């Protein structure tokens, strides 16, 4: 018992030291932004740019104009989409057949239809994609 | 991207015959014509220093990974890698298992897609694991090989494949078998080296893969390497800062986040993380200033920035500046 008594101070000292270390080394990084989050944001920006680029393709412009939609207007509307909507669109684009080849990106017929419907959805002319929030 | 069960049995030969007789259509450009569109590629490349392991049973995945890991200086045999890579129930190896194994051995795993990227890597002296479907779309025979070179004049790709070292495969056949696997390739490099074909975002995702295995020093090396090519890359600076922070290197982390904040004054995340490392050094006044900047910038993570500011204000009141 006396041995335990004599150990109390050093043990308490160690416990305090350990606590102090744990406070120093387990910092409150809950509110730090992870690299993962940075890259996700980056991905969303790239997805938006990609969509802009596709809307600029002449095949797509022609079809949009046939619907009476100006492609500048379409791009402006794309900028107003939420990150969630952009992510959905990017996922759909990844599923498109003939989206890519060894040589580069080809714009297939299915992709043109998708883009045109997407834009007309955004403009409230059609109602095909549930992930686009429709204007009231 | 399909997730094939990749068995690489000998039935591949039968389907090869089927493939040659059944496949119609043309694989358009010759390597030579193709390479003209990618400037500066040599006419022929063969990387001599890639060891060869013949494939036993269905172990093309472990064999391919052992070859490239050995090339990076990691001394492993296919047998060592079987438990890490091979899925016995599917008699094959998944692409994700290959990537995971590379990371486990402190290597950077960079998936690539397409002929341009493949030739660019080979020209830079980097062997590339390629996934081929030696069968047909509806009758797949999956197979991993290691591409170690090409020759434009002969119009061939050079592969360590199956039981054959340095196999010459005609470009048409190679492209067809590779196309059926969505042109999937994997570059495995010592961390700190950059794939020649890498774009910033894809490379950073590969580096993030290393970071997520909590090998902070290795990941920090990968992010530092990114900064050699993309000097003020936000992702690389933040990744480097986050890794240094995890290593307890507060001054190093501060330096990275400061650089990020300076180069990207619209990034709330840079100011937010800078605020944290300043606060942890007891520099509360500066920390509060940075956290306030983050809150003012706002954006998708603004709830975090508010939390940061509150935490630092509380800590600053509790302790001296």
Q: Is residue B203 in a domain? A: no
Residues A10-39 pLDDT 10s: 555 555 554 444 444 444 466 899 999 999
Residue B297, domain extent: 216-318
Q: Is B228 helix (H, G, I), strand (E, B) or coil?
A: helix
The answer, for B220 touching chain A at a CB cutoff of 8 Å, is no
| pLDDT reading at B1 higher than 90 | no
Q: Is residue B209 in a domain? A: no
**What is the value of pTM for the model shown?**
0.79
Instruction: Collect all residues of chain B within an 8 Å Cβ-Cβ radius of residue A37.
Output: 269, 301
Residue A85: how many CB atoms within 10 A of its CB?
17
Could you say which of B179, B208, B311 has the minimum Cβ distance to residue A36?
Answer: B208
Task: Write phi, then psi, for B283 (nearest 5 degrees).
Answer: -95, 70
Instruction: Collect all residues of chain B within an 8 Å Cβ-Cβ radius of residue A39.
Output: 201, 204-205, 208, 235
pLDDT band with cut points at 50, 70 and 90 for residue B234: very high
Number of domains in chain B: 2
Domain boundary pick from B173, B190, B207: B190
Contact of B91 with B58, CB cutoff 8 Å: yes
**Percentage of chain A lying above the pLDDT 90 cut:** 7
Type and span of the H or E element at B146? strand B142-151
Q: What mean pLDDT comes out for the span A52-71?
A: 81
Type and span of the H or E element at B25? none
ipTM of the complex: 0.81
Contact of B47 with B125, CB cutoff 8 Å: yes
pLDDT band with cut points at 50, 70 and 90 for residue B14: very low
Residues B81-90 pLDDT 10s: 988 888 887 7
CA–CA dist A119, A65 (Å, integer): 11
Number of domains in chain A: 1
The answer, for A83 touching chain B at a CB cutoff of 8 Å, is yes
CATH number at residue B284: 1.25.40.10
Q: Is residue A50 in a domain? A: yes
Query: Are B135 and B243 contained in the same domain?
Result: no
Q: Is residue A136 in a domain? A: no
| Residues contacting residue B321 through CB under 8 Å, at least 6 positions apart | B282, B283, B284, B285
Instruction: Collect all residues of chain B within an 8 Å Cβ-Cβ radius of residue A83.
Output: 300
Query: Are B81 and B225 contained in the same domain?
Result: no
Type and span of the H or E element at A45? helix A35-56
Q: Is residue B41 in a domain? A: yes
The answer, for A73 touching chain B at a CB cutoff of 8 Å, is no
Instruction: Collect all residues of chain B within an 8 Å Cβ-Cβ radius of residue A33.
Output: 238, 269, 272-273, 301, 304
Beta-bridge mates of residue B167? B159
Residue A116, domain extent: 2-122
Q: Is A101 helix (H, G, I), strand (E, B) or coil?
A: coil
């Amino acid at each position: 018992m006396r041995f335990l008594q004599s150990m109390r101070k050093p043990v308490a000292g160690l416990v305090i030291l350990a606590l102090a270390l744990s406070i120093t080394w387990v910092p409150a990084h809950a509110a730090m932004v992870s690299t993962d989050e940075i890259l996700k944001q980056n991905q969303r920006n790239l997805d938006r740019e990609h969509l802009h680029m596709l809307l600029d393709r002449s095949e797509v412009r022609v079809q949009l104009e046939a619907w009476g939609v100006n492609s500048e207007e379409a791009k402006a509307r794309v900028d107003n989409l939420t990150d969630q909507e952009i992510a959905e669109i990017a996922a759909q684009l990844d599923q498109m057949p003939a989206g890519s080849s060894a040589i580069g990106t080809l714009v297939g017929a299915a992709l043109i239809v998708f883009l045109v419907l997407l834009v007309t959805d955004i403009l409230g002319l059609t109602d095909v994609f549930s992930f686009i929030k429709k204007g009231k | 991207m399909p997730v094939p069960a990749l068995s690489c049995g000998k039935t591949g030969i039968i389907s090869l015959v089927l493939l040659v007789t059944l496949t119609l259509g043309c694989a358009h450009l010759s390597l030579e014509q193709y390479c003209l569109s990618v400037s500066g590629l040599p006419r022929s490349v063969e990387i001599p220093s890639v060891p060869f392991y013949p494939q036993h049973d269905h172990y093309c995945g472990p064999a391919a990974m052992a070859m490239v890991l050995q090339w990076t200086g990691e001394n492993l045999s296919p047998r060592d890698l079987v438990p890490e890579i091979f899925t016995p129930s599917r008699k094959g190896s998944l692409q994700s298992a290959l990537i995971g194994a590379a990371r486990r051995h402190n290597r950077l795993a960079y998936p690539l897609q397409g002929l341009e990227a493949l030739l660019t890597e080979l020209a830079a002296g980097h062997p590339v694991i390629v996934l081929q479907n030696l069968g047909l779309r509806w009758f797949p025979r999956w197979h991993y090989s290691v591409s170690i070179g090409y020759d434009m004049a002969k119009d061939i790709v050079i592969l360590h494949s199956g039981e054959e070292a340095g196999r010459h495969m005609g470009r048409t056949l190679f492209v067809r078998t590779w196309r059926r696997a969505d042109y999937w390739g994997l570059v495995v490099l010592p961390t700190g080296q950059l794939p020649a074909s890498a774009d910033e975002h894809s490379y950073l995702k590969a580096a993030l893969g290393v970071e997520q295995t909590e090998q902070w020093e290795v990941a920090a090396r990968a992010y530092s390497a990114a900064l050699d090519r993309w000097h003020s890359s936000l992702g690389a600076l933040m990744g480097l800062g986050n890794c240094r922070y995890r290593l307890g290197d507060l001054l190093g982390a501060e330096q990275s986040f400061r650089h990020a904040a300076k180069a990207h004054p619209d990034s709330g995340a840079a100011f937010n993380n800078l605020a944290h490392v300043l606060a942890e050094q007891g520099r509360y006044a500066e920390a509060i200033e940075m956290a306030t900047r983050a809150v003012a910038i706002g954006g998708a993570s603004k709830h975090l920035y508010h939390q940061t500011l509150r935490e630092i204000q509380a800590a600053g009141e509790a302790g001296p500046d």
